[in-house]
Chains A and B, each alone.
Chain A
Amino acid sequence: MERIAINPRNNWQAAVEKLGFGFHTTNVPYWDESACYRCTMEEILFIEKATAELWDLCLGAVQHVMDNDLYHRFAIPSDFIPYIERTWEEDHPALYGRLDLAYKDGELKLLEFNADTPTSLYEAGIVQWFWLQDFDKGKDQFNSIHEKLISCWRYLKSYLYAAPLHFTCVKQSLEDLTNTEYIRDCAMQAGLDTRLIFVDDIGWDQDAEVFVDMEEQPIRNIFKLYPWEWMINGDFGPNIIKDRNRTYWVEPGWKMILSNKAILPILWQLYPDCPYLLPAFFEEGHLNNYVKKPILSREGANIDIVRGGNRIHRTEGEYGKEGYIYQQLFDLPSFSGNYPVLGSWIIGQEPAGMGIRESRDLVTDNLSRFVPHYIG
């Protein structure tokens, strides 16, 4: 993999805004086409293969957590355990996830799995693909995200209730709205009848004990870009269990297990020979060089990096009260002080593409930049 400095397109801001990509720059640039990554086809095939294998291992780990009643490791309230297991046993529809991987010197390692509310889908599936058309049409890209999203919705259609599919996210974020609307766009192209409702507008009919939309019509299928841990701790959390419609929430409840960093020590315990896993533990003391991560956190918050017993980096945040895990430190590759993390997408059950985010330090946080890639 090689990082190449390039000239951004003239008026690239207008080019990406034409695609509906309105959050390319906040107080710092987020979309960055002053560089791109060139990957060989062998590297892409390797990433694709590892992604498929890791996905299989993750499913095995979910079953293991259920079989051995390890929910306390995940800070999952006991009230929700039967619900989570029902969504697993009944195979409730699941769409996607993003494995965050570090790649250096031919080694590929799982850093974490964003299995519930992964973002940067629009950048990976659409914006970087159109960038490639302008940069070099003849080049290839690890990217079949768009087709796979449509195809997956088409497949899931027969598993959903015969009712509209609602989509929800928070009101205050253009990034979340863009990702949600993009996924809804793909569902519409798959022939589904869709509705948008912001998450705080979702209604609960106290008499009928069902969730309703703004027209007070029942919500039976709903895609949410809103984390399960926030859902179950919201005022309506208990209603998810009471819901007489047994609404399909996409991603399904069992993703509470996979999206939690407690899955990392479980994976390591189950598959210590897997070349894509880093040693990870629930207890401190097994490792000299490690990253301490809250089991529930977002955007690289509350991370400690420890080397030789000394903390060398810390990020602030509000997470950690549910507990931490300790994962062996894997030095990200440095390209002139830029540290890339590969976001490898699973859509349906298949690897579907890749987005690269890079940071100026070892933690990929909300100041990281999305940098496009091509195969060549």
Chain B
Amino acid sequence: MKKTKHIELILITAVLAGCHRPNKEWQNGNKVYVRGDSTAPYSRVYHHSGPGLWYYAFRPYGYWYNGYYSRTGYYSGAISEVSNIGSNGLKSSVIRGGFGHGSFSVSS
């Protein structure tokens, strides 16, 4: 009555288990490719320092001033240059990075 009768997972085990590789595969900036039809924009995966799984499609750039980090934009090889944030006239009107500043797990 209370119990789930049947469980099928079509996405999560493929993507997450696929990403959860042994540490040695993450070393030296090795790239790992995950299922393209589900997380296509994130198909290039890099490991950064720190525990757990980190992956970036955009790499933020910015500067330190007076002890504070100011994010000014993103670089990404996955999208057109005009989509990267910036102020010159060739770039599109899209800006990014307005959510998620200094964010960490929302775990509650």
Query: Which A residues are within 8 Å of any B CB, using their own CB?
Result: 17-23, 26, 44, 114, 117-119, 122, 125-126, 129-130, 132, 140-147, 169-178, 181-182, 184-185, 188-189, 195-208, 212-216, 225-227, 230-231, 234-237, 239, 298-299, 353, 366, 375
Contacts and interface: CB of A to CB of B under 8 A. Distances in A.
Given A125-B4, A129-B7, A203-B95, 14 more contacts: A20-B13, A20-B16, A144-B2, A174-B16, A181-B12, A185-B9, A196-B38, A197-B41, A200-B60, A204-B96, A205-B93, A212-B94, A227-B106, A235-B97
Interface of B: 1-5, 7-13, 15-17, 19-20, 38-39, 41-42, 50-58, 60, 74, 76, 78-79, 83, 92-101, 103-108
B41 A119 contact: no
10 tightest CB-CB pairs across the interface, nearest first? A236-B98, A200-B100, A20-B16, A173-B105, A235-B98, A185-B11, A207-B93, A199-B100, A203-B94, A22-B20
Contact of B93 (A206, A213, A239): A206
Contacts of B58: 200-201
Given A140-B1, A143-B2, A206-B93, A172 B54 contact: yes
B8 A189 contact: yes
Contacts of B55: 171
Contacts of B17: 17-20, 22
Given A17-B17, A20-B16, A178-B16, A119 B106 contact: yes
Which of B11, B52, B74, B79 has the largest count of A CB atoms less than 10 A from its CB?
B11
A160 B99 CA distance: 23
A214 B79 contact: yes
Given A170-B100, A185-B12, A200-B100, A143 B106 contact: no
Contacts of A44: 2
A170 B104 contact: yes
B41 A234 contact: no
A206 B13 CA distance: 37
A174 B52 contact: yes
Contact of A239 (B38, B76, B98): B98
21 contacts: A20-B16, A23-B52, A26-B51, A119-B107, A140-B1, A143-B3, A145-B4, A172-B104, A177-B53, A181-B11, A181-B12, A182-B9, A185-B11, A197-B41, A200-B96, A203-B95, A227-B106, A234-B100, A236-B99, A298-B106, A366-B107
A114 B106 CA distance: 11
Contacts of A17: 17, 20
A119 B16 contact: no
Contact of B7 (A118, A126, A184): A126
Contacts of B5: 147
A117 B108 contact: yes
A301 B107 CA distance: 12
A206 B97 CA distance: 13
Contact of A144 (B3, B12, B41, B101): B3
B53 A117 contact: no
Contact of A169 (B9, B11, B56, B106): B106
B72 to A, nearest CB: 12
A21 to B, nearest CB: 8
Nearest to A44: B2
A267 to B, nearest CB: 19
A175 B105 contact: yes
A201 B96 contact: yes
A317 B92 CA distance: 40
Nearest to B1: A140
B90 to A, nearest CB: 15
Contacts of A188: 10-11
Contacts of A182: 9, 12
A228 to B, nearest CB: 11
Contacts of B9: 19-20, 126, 182, 185
A215 B41 contact: yes
B101 to A, nearest CB: 6
B79 to A, nearest CB: 6
Given A144-B3, A176-B107, A207-B93, A234 B13 contact: no
